[in-house]
Amino acid sequence: MVCLGNICRSPTAEAMLRHKVHEAGLDGRVEVDSAGTADYHVDSPPDRRAIAHGERRGLKMKHLRGRQVSRADFERFDFILAMDDDNLAGLERIRPAGSRAKVALLMSYAPAAGSTEVPDPYYGGAEDFERVLDLVDLAADGFIAELTLK
């Protein structure tokens, strides 16, 4: 899960997907992580608002810490999912030739959601953080459904 700073959207998506992986009984078979394309918040916890809104939905986020995407991630992970087109382009710029990871938009797993991107809630209000949760919830369900079909 990748956004710009790794303190709002991507840790929310990480926590949501971890929750869904657990519900699906895929613990131990699916590794979930998040990172940012920028190094603004390396080792920082998620935004306090993201944590608060996530906790209301049963997500555990306080233990997460920001990190920057590395070239090694393209070999470590099968999927690298961006929150928006800008971060997708950033991933494609650093992607090593011949890497095995599928790089895509997270929202491609929820085509009926009405949004191709997860909008950045950082400068918004509570409703923006709730929208992020709604979107990543739908996308996580779609992603899990695709995984279990394979």
Whether pLDDT at 150 is above 70: no
Q: pTM for the full model? A: 0.97
Q: Which residues pair with 105 in a beta bridge?
A: 82
Q: Answer yes or no: are the C-beta atoms of 8 and 120 closer than 8 Å.
A: yes
Looking up tokens 């613990």 gives: 27
Structure-block tokens of residue 92: 């494609």
Which candidate, 74, 95, 78, 71, places its Cα nearest to that of 31? 78
Span 53-70, average pLDDT = 98
68: which DSSP letter? B
Q: For residue range 72-124, list pLDDT tens digits in order.
A: 999 999 999 999 999 999 999 999 999 999 999 999 999 999 999 999 999 99
Q: Could you list the active site residues?
A: 3, 9, 120
Weakest-pLDDT range from 3-7, 27-31, 41-45, 77-81: 27-31
pLDDT confidence of residue 5: 97
Question: What residue spans define the domains of the chain?
Answer: 2-149
- As assigned by CATH, the class of the 2-149 domain is alpha beta
